[in-house]
Amino acid sequence: MNYFSSDFKLGILGGGQLGRMLLKDTNKFDVQTYVLDPSNEAPCSFYANKFFQGDLMDFDTVYNFGKQVDVLTFEIEGVNIEALQKLEDEGIKVYPSAKTLAKIQNKAIQKSFYLENKIPTAPFTRYNSLNELKNDANNFPFVWKSAQFGYDGNGVKVVRSANDLEGLPNTECIAEEMIPFKNELAVIVCRNPKGESKAYPVVEMEFHPEANQVEYVICPARIDKAVAQKAIDVALKVSNSFEHVGLLAVEMFQTQDDEILVNEVAPRPHNSGHYSIEASYTSQFEQHLRAILNLPLGNAESKVAGIMVNLVGAEGHTGNVLYKNIDKVLELDGVTPHIYGKKQTRPFRKMGHVTIVNEDINKARAIAQEVKETIQVVSS
């Protein structure tokens, strides 16, 4: 099929920053894009060929949107799976597939999938409700995770006593053993319908202590080569087990004895791959596009060390966004800001990121610290 400068239409469910960065590469290839998002102020709304406002969990909305396109993908997991399945049954290509998404969208099902496929993961127990967990909870501490619709620290809580369970939603959940880990790592794997797959280098993630949100993504991870290879091997096994098409971000723990445990996956471009826009031969967004269009995959290696700094709304600030000191960080070598186009800020909301590239990973990390301390995302 001729995708380029033609009548071919690519549909994207979700119009946030991931979709916006994907559109940069569809524009490069002159691929027509249709985007659906609940907000008429979504970052994609100005950049898609056609933008539609609607509920991503509503069957009719997703189905009717999907009937207009040739290939359908998504930048957020919270979409109506039944509509995706019906579209696939009627010949629309959906990548990743409804079957893959169904295994990932629910964290309890996702964790059980790892056990069934002999993929290493932290021990856990599934519960149909919070009340069921409360009746069984005696092995503190553990990590409570909502089975559905958790993201960026939402739907995840460290439980040190029964009091910590108060106020949580009474929904399906898992209680996961707390792992004393050395590092949180991620590997992005890309796979096309022909089964060709490529893994990006292992990245290391540094988290905000309170928000449970990534502050820095460091590539390459500062770990032993043998551990890095083990992480890549596990990520490739996860990818093959899911038989996914497109990008799959595999988040992992490196334990104190250098074992690799899979935490969770995201079947789409991911925060842990933003560094690739400046640092890799092929960015994660171009790679996702190549995969879902069944084109040859690009080189996933890095040209240079890269660090990504998340720009999130400052605490105590809600309202119209104001970015302070971006001009100051532009004076630093190898620094590229990406502003997502969200008009309203609130504490810890992802508003943008900054990439730092340098031949020396330690220099890049020092500049990243300076960037973090200089830019302020506040309300005007």
- Tens of pLDDT, residue by residue, the chain (380 residues): 789 999 999 999 999 999 999 999 999 999 999 999 999 999 999 999 999 999 999 999 999 999 999 999 999 999 999 999 999 999 999 999 999 999 999 999 999 999 999 999 999 999 999 999 999 877 889 999 999 876 656 788 999 998 999 989 999 999 999 998 999 999 999 999 999 999 999 999 988 777 667 889 999 999 999 999 999 999 999 999 999 999 999 999 999 999 999 999 999 999 999 999 999 999 999 999 999 999 999 999 999 999 999 999 999 999 999 999 999 999 999 999 999 999 999 998 999 999 999 999 999 999 999 999 999 999 98
pLDDT at residue 366 in the model: 95
- The answer to whether 243 is a known ligand-binding residue is no
pLDDT at residue 215 in the model: 87
173 Cα distance to chain centroid: 21
- The answer to whether 145 is a known ligand-binding residue is yes
- The answer to whether 320 is a known ligand-binding residue is no
CA 372 to CA 312: how far, in whole Å?
Answer: 10
Structure tokens at 267: 């079947």
What b/e sequence results for 83-108 when a residue is b if at least 16 CB atoms lie within 10 Å of its CB, and e otherwise?
Answer: bbbbbbeeebbbbbbbebbebbbbbb
- The answer to whether 196 is a known ligand-binding residue is no
306 Cα distance to chain centroid: 18
Domain coordinates of the chain in residue numbers? Answer: 9-94, 123-177, 181-379
- The answer to whether 176 is a known ligand-binding residue is yes
- The answer to whether 278 is a known ligand-binding residue is no
The CATH number of the structural domain formed by 123-177 is: 3.30.1490.20
Are the CB atoms for 104 and 265 separated by under 8 Å? yes
Q: Tell which residue, 216, 215, 186, 190, has the closest CA to residue 203.
A: 186
- The answer to whether 301 is a known ligand-binding residue is no
Q: Which CATH code, of 1.10.1740.10, 3.30.70.20, 3.40.50.720, 3.40.50.20, is assigned to 9-94?
A: 3.40.50.20
Q: Tell which residue, 267, 118, 119, has the closest CA to residue 191.
A: 267
Residue holding tokens 């300076």? 370
Q: Class for domain 181-379, per CATH?
A: alpha beta
CA 124 to CA 185: how far, in whole Å?
Answer: 20
- The answer to whether 215 is a known ligand-binding residue is no
Q: For the sheet containing 142-146, what is the strand order?
A: 124-127, 173-177, 142-146, 156-159
